[in-house]
Amino acid sequence: MLSRVADHLYWFSRYLRRAENTARLVGVGSLLQLDLPRSVRFTWRPMIATVGAEALFTGVHPEPEDADVLDFLLLDARNPSSLRTSVDSAREILRGIRDALPQEVWEAVNDLHLYIDADGERVLTRRYRLEFINRITDGCLKVSGLLAANVSRDIGFHFLRLGTAIEQADMTTRIIDAGASGLVTPRNEDDREAYQNMQWMAVLRALAAYQMYRRHVRQRVSGTHALRFLLHNAEFPRSVQFCLTRVQRILPAMPPRPPVERALTRATGLVRQADPVLLAAGDPARFMDEAQVYLGQLHQAIAGGYFAG
């Protein structure tokens, strides 16, 4: 397979999963807003730091309001990680490799593009936000289902799976980061633990993980249990450990690249050694930032090993 086509397939799946999880990221806040009493202070601003776009956002919005944060995360074409940019990037990539993927995939991605253009502004109003988020996540899952059901299991499919696994691992850490980043300010210290547990509940629900959490953990939601499930569970497809294990299983079917294997070993070791008890009691966001660095290094090794030249 040409390195250009492999690169496009890898990035197509990354952009698709990024769009879905960007919607889910905003879903964390939206679900919290529904559950919290009106007297509790809620702010969207920490999500900008979660996606690593603080400098760009500040340059675009020197005195931002909550609506500016939502617009930047979801609709702003100037944000390279926004929902709109991710869908548009996936669509543009698909134009160049339409013969490599089923026609139904193009139609589904194009439907998402048209929906965002036509109804995207509705997401800025609280009334329609969850409807918009659900429509986007359902559309992305439809594309993922089409890819899983209708694409031959050749080397191109492995690059699709590789991109999906790495992007999901990265976005899971970012959604965890959002839940631990101070979206909610309690009225007094006595309420802090209760509101923190509500944040972890929103994280699980945003990742479609709450039912599987109850099935595997069978404990009340807490930071420790949620972190252990989302980082270490070997059976839930959005856990970081599951995604890295998937990469580990894909690599034997691809040309060997020792730098990729070394980077994967480092990222896997970091996640396996994480102590959810200490993370929940301390600063989970710092660990998530470190995990994102290791995942970035894994991506760089893949890009250098398979796509360069």
Query: Structure pTM?
Result: 0.92
Residue 270 has a pLDDT of 97
Residue 75 has a pLDDT of 94
Residue 85 has a pLDDT of 97
Residue 164 has a pLDDT of 97
Residue 34 has a pLDDT of 78
Mean pLDDT of 76-93: 95
3-state secondary structure the chain: CCHHHHHHHHHHHHHHHHHHHHHHHHHHHHHHHHHCCCCCEECCCHHHHHCCCHHHHHHHCCCCCHHHHHHHHHCCCCCCCCHHHHHHHHHHHHHHCHHHCCHHHHHHHHHHHHHHHHHHHHHHCHHHHHHHHHHHHHHHHHHHHHHHHHCCCCHHHHHHHHHHHHHHHHHHHHHHHHHCCCCEECCCHHHHHHHHHHHHHHHHHHCCCHHHHHHHCCCCCCHHHHHHHHHHCCCCCCCHHHHHHHHHHHHHHCCCCHHHHHHHHHHHHHHHHCCHHHHHHCCHHHHHHHHHHHHHHHHHHHHHHHHCC
**Per-residue pLDDT band at 1 (split at 50, 70, 90):** low
In the chain, the percentage of residues whose pLDDT exceeds 70 is 94
**Per-residue pLDDT band at 183 (split at 50, 70, 90):** low
Q: Quick check: 266 pLDDT over 90?
A: yes
Of the listed ranges 97-101, 135-139, 246-250, the one predicted with least confidence? 97-101
Nearest to 101 by CA among 12, 211, 230, 213: 12
Q: Quick check: 180 pLDDT over 80?
A: no
* Residues 198-237 pLDDT 10s: 888 888 988 999 999 999 998 999 999 999 999 999 999 9
Asked if 233 contacts 244 with a C-beta cutoff of 8 angstroms, the reply is no
Mean pLDDT of 77-92: 95
* Residues 118-133 pLDDT 10s: 988 888 888 888 899 9
**Torsional class of 208: left (φ above 0), alpha (ψ -120 to 50), beta (otherwise):** left
Q: Quick check: 162 pLDDT over 90?
A: yes
Q: Quick check: 155 pLDDT over 90?
A: yes
Q: Quick check: 46 pLDDT over 60?
A: yes
> In this predicted model, which residue has the larger pLDDT, 43 or 101?
101
Asked if 53 contacts 177 with a C-beta cutoff of 8 angstroms, the reply is no
